[in-house]
Amino acid sequence: GYQSLMSVPYDSWTGFNFHKDMLDAWSPSNRESNIPRLQYNDTDASSSSDRFLINASYLNLQSINIGYTLTKEPDTSFGLD
């Protein structure tokens, strides 16, 4: 999800990178940003933090399949024989 894209891209996985929001990180020319500055060789970059927690109090489904297995005996409530 979104929050996983905020971690440090030092792994060797192909395509691993920062989220585009990190382009607005604090800098001397962007002092109003609430996104922490990027820093070379930051030993705390992968520390546990609540900085990028997101609200996950809802369920978002892209697709759902619902199935039902019929019993071997016919169900007369549906008019099946």
Cα separation, 39 vs 45, whole angstroms: 9
Range of the domain at 15: 1-42
The overall pTM is greater than 0.95: no
Percent of the chain with pLDDT strictly greater than 90: 12
Whether 75 is covered by a domain: the verdict is: no
Whether 57 is covered by a domain: the verdict is: no
Whether 8 is covered by a domain: the verdict is: yes
**pLDDT interval class at 4 (50, 70, 90):** low
Cα separation, 16 vs 21, whole angstroms: 15
Instruction: Please provide the average confidence, as pLDDT, over all residues in the chain.
Output: 75
Cα separation, 17 vs 35, whole angstroms: 16
As for how many domains the chain has, the answer is: 1
Q: How far apart are the first and last CA of the chain?
A: 49
Provide mean pLDDT across the span 20-44: 85
